[in-house]
Amino acid sequence: MAAARGLRVREVTVRFGRLTAVDGAGLTAPSGAVTGLVGPSGAGKTTLCDVITGLRRPAAGTVLLDGADVTRDAARERARRGIARTFQRAGAAGPATVRQSVRAAAARHAMTREQPGRTARDRWRRRWDGRREAGAAADGLLARLGIEDHAERPVRDAPPGVAGLVDLARALATEPAVLVLDEPWAGLPDRRARALEVLLRDLADEGLAVLVAGDEIEPVLGVCDLLHVLDGGRVIAAGPPAEVRADPRVRDAYRTGQDLTTCRSTGGDGRPSPEPRPARR
């Protein structure tokens, strides 16, 4: 039987000294679907994303990409194999413009696919073609994400929401199979937030496995096909979004009755998170 395509995480545990940040957590993010990973601030979501993308080695557990074990692969190798990531606090300190930043990501990706030419002229031509392709890819991504008006602005001067979209464009420039997004709605006005929801659905329809992590259920609920809730480092509920939302354990974790939008901290990775945003739905 062929292995299911997409991402699968099994029994991952991460410890920081005596603190267990992620405790036997597992999830499935299939290709062609948007999968949500939500939980109160400090539940361990970012740490689990770090494990998935190779930025942190777990004490135990397995990460599978299209059925292949990548647990011991470095972050760069996982990126080469098709796992891309955005971060909760995107941005850049250097002087690169938005277009230059995305073009650089596309160019680096093109270099990883480059095959040696038979002659120096062949290799030079491939590099030149790769640069042209990277430029076209960058401009296309900026247009698709609706940030082409910011193309000549330094990334460091971009508003937080735009900086997050630049981070997403850089991730998409690597032509990923799995896209891991950490708080992608942070700093976005409603108009851009709705456009991002449409984009994520489109990416899933194109065959990507999209994993969206966030503190709040409501923004993720409106776009995902599967939902996992993490609390205290453990997955306390997983399945279709409507069923998970109604789970008493989830209601207890969020402690807000019907709307499930205000978080409480339960330990987990201990990283600070942005203030909760008002629900959009």
HEC letters along 91-114: CCCCCCEHHHHHHHHHHHHHHHHC
Tokens found for residue 111:
């270099």
Provide the residue type at 71 as one letter: T
Spans of all domains in the chain: 1-91+160-281, 93-157
CA 174/CA 198 separation, integer angstroms: 20
Tokens found for residue 130:
């790769």
Nearest alpha-carbon partner for 9 in 24, 216, 244: 24
Report the sign of the C-alpha dihedral through residues 131, 74, 97, 186, in that order: positive
Provide the residue type at 121 as one letter: R
Distance of CA 29 to the CA centre of its chain: 11
Secondary structure class of 122 (helix, strand, coil): helix
Q: Which CATH architecture has domain 1-91+160-281?
A: 3-Layer(aba) Sandwich (3.40)
- In this structure, what DSSP letter does residue 7 have? E
Per-residue pLDDT of the chain (281 residues; tens, 9 = 90+): 456 789 999 999 999 999 999 999 999 999 999 999 999 888 999 999 999 999 999 999 999 999 999 999 999 999 999 999 998 765 555 689 999 999 999 988 877 655 555 555 554 455 545 566 888 899 999 999 999 999 999 998 888 888 899 999 999 999 999 999 998 988 888 888 999 999 999 999 999 999 999 988 888 888 999 999 999 999 999 999 989 988 999 988 887 433 444 333 333 333 333 333 333 33
Provide the residue type at 246 as one letter: A
The reported pLDDT for the residue numbered 113 is 57
CA 279/CA 14 separation, integer angstroms: 31
The reported pLDDT for the residue numbered 154 is 93
